Structure 1
């Protein structure tokens, strides 16, 4: 190895670069998926399990939402089940979805509102508890207050500092109250009640929030549940969102609630958040990311594999004379092949260790740089962060080690089959 240190160094560099490429790319995609999940579960307040009347978000449910609302009796049944499973439940939040027209006296804008249990919604959001980029959040306001998406706020004559300036390095609002000004502090919200009547409320806009996605930013209103129920003249809610202590228990928890509903004839449907229609865009984006991941990983693996393969092939081919010398002093063919295989394994192990350290260092640099990028439907820049994924590191180690050993094995076997005079006279 000392005589051929250049080739050994070339093999090490090839494996290190391949390891870094696989580790960084897989870490980026893994972190992006984690961000998306957090955006839905906490930022979007879907929780881990959504409980609704069966068919509420189907075509018929959209046409006649009040037919599929959860009345007081069903709410009491759900509360009883949640009390039974209190050890599994972190918190729950009731949501009433209403829609209509919002106006500050000039023109009307279509809105979609979520009426929320304010205190519980803070618990669901977790680290996203402070969710406004200007003004103040609902939990610091009164019962007659609403917060609106930045896009909708602009249409209603409300302005604040650029939303991206209120976002920290981790992509969350900084938690600082920032100034907001509205041409009219009150907004008139009109909607059709449960009984088909037109009703109006006149709340105060106290904050602007970043909805994460442009469509949400341009349409959504958050308000206290009592205000939404007053607007719709109802005591019903659209759904419950349940935040579990262990997210992995969502399918089992949903199945248990479904069984509870069936036993009592309640007609409820409990669905893990990522299987609900609300998460349709999440499923589409993860499907696209999966295809993208497979394609790029295939390319990275092919390039890294070919680089390691050619480097090792060249290193072994130029050492045929050494093989002849070893054969002449009594080494058997299998000993020769074993030596080169062990050498390749040692090179791969050293390279993977260096690659792991380099990957870890690069991840630290990138994550501390505070970089961000704009992405498609995202309303504000997405923080560029990368996770260290153990499974990706193991895959890179196994794959690149296998390629290195195979690349050493094949030419070593061929060279070992040469006669001793031919091997000693090789001109490589």
Structure 2
């Protein structure tokens, strides 16, 4: 098959990394695969995988973008694409609106992000994979509609490169992942209890997760000598978090919170960790290194991933929402980190179990085999062009309503803000 993969963007986020890893794995099964995207650090991962990269227009003033739809349609024609595989909502709609003209090429969408399906989402003609159980149940109403099959595809982990022996020198040779070089670069050579968090530094979904972990480690530093947090990632709130780290480190009188910036290959950080904090794919990558992992979500949620708690993550995936954020002195994350960092035997027990779980349930090669089956199914069940045109018209109508509602909400918010300013 000839497959075109359209990641959400070319940043180092979980969904986009998953897109490239699955594209490489499907290529390795004998298929021709192209990746399509704008500029961004993920291009390095695409190049390292040996995947051909097609360019998208760099600026999209509106989403969905007609220019992106035209670019996808052109790529489908030039490369005689059999299936277009998109990740997240805007790329899916852009591909759907662009590909019913050239050869009626089927589009398969993957949704890894949290939240309900938006109202403009195509309801027929688009097979879908979703990353967690609650969204799979929500989309149950779509199953059985023409071309609207829904599959559960949890985040894939490449267990061939994300594994604990990557950092261990075999037969006295050079380790695949140079932890010592990473530690030296960031001033982490002195052995000390280490919490690692790898994430995009973004407001949406991530900010509470990042701030709570920083605050919890600072709170524990008085009790655990030398405790440090290594935070790997870049993004829109990086400067804000650097300022927070500087303030916390100043209060502690030492460098307990270390921000490394973004890393195309964060494996040395995972390998250095005693405990990993994360959500989604980053939590799973920590588990793939045999590390005990705590999932920190939103509204005060945090929970270690253990044999006793794994069922709690079936609904929302490796994420969660609590009853509300609380001050650090009452944050359950503090106690959870204390328990793990203070008990090496427990860390080893959970780490071994975590490694086995990732291999059995989340391995990339198994996910790629299932994905190829769904590509073949999408080709076999390709809906007629007339039906797709009708659904495209309905999608356009729903988009107009959605955009109008967004503009109305923004206008009301500005009006409230102006009123508050004049009365203060």
Fold in common (TM above 0.5):
no
Higher relative contact order (CA 8 A, sep 6+): 1
Higher strand share: 1
| TM-score of the superposed pair, with normalisation by structure 2 | 0.21
| TM-score of the superposed pair, with normalisation by structure 1 | 0.21
Which of structures 1 and 2 has the bigger CA Rg? 1
